[in-house]
Amino acid sequence: MTYTTEFRPTVLSNPYLSSNIADAVTATTAQFKQLSIDDQLAVLWYAYTEMGRSITPAAPGAARLQFAEGILAQIKAMSYDEQLQVMRDLASNANTPLCRSYGVLSVNTKLAFWYQLAEMMVQGTVVPMPAGYQLSAPGQAVLESIKQLDMGQQITVLRNTVVNMGVDPLAD
């Protein structure tokens, strides 16, 4: 009788199955980046609705949101279509003046900026999610990965995602 040792290279090298904490954050960040732009926005939205309860209202205020007030006011003055376009531009690193203004914000201000946009979506001053919106399967998978992380890891993933948005005007 011949015994063969079962070899599972795909499982062993699959970052999503790693128990390493840093890898879980890295993997979830990478998973997020692979989503379509609209899925990225939708996952951020659902992360906000899930985390909203756990983030104290003071936390986003802790960031120096005054540096984002200019672009928030610009966005508020736009039509829903234009607002959606701006958020798609940010997520896809379109080289626009607004994306360059965003690019110079600190990481926490970027987080606070997205938090503020989500609050404005709730208020109706920024384009709301379409009624009955169905998150795609890949989007749901990323949301699940985020939910499995602890609060600190979730914030790290969110930081990683928002820091990659917009355009750094000093980078080129």
The CA-atom distances, in angstroms, between 166 and each of 5, 93, 108, 122, 123 are 49, 5, 14, 23, 24
46: contact with ligand 45D by CB under 6 A: no
Tell me how far, at minimum, the Cβ of 14 lies from ligand 45D, in Å: 27
25: contact with ligand 45D by CB under 6 A: no
Q: Most distant CA pair in the chain: distance in Å?
A: 76
Contacts with ligand 45D by CB under 6 A: the residue count is: 28
Q: Which residues fall within 8 angstroms of residue 65, CB to CB, at 6 or more apart?
A: 72, 109, 112, 113, 116
- Give the residue, chosen from 72, 104, 141, 155, that forms a contact with ligand 45D under the rule CB under 6 A: 155
Cα 75 to Cα 53: distance, rounded to the nearest angstrom: 25
Output 24 or 114, the one with its CB closest to ligand 45D: 114
The number of C-alpha atoms within 13 Å of 102 and in the hemisphere containing its C-beta is 30
Quick one: which segment of 3-11, 23-31, 53-61, 164-172 binds ligand 45D (CB under 6 A)? 53-61
Residues that bind ligand 45D (CB under 6 A): 38, 41-42, 44-45, 47-48, 51, 55, 59-60, 62-63, 84, 87, 108, 111-112, 114-115, 117-118, 121, 127, 129-130, 155, 158
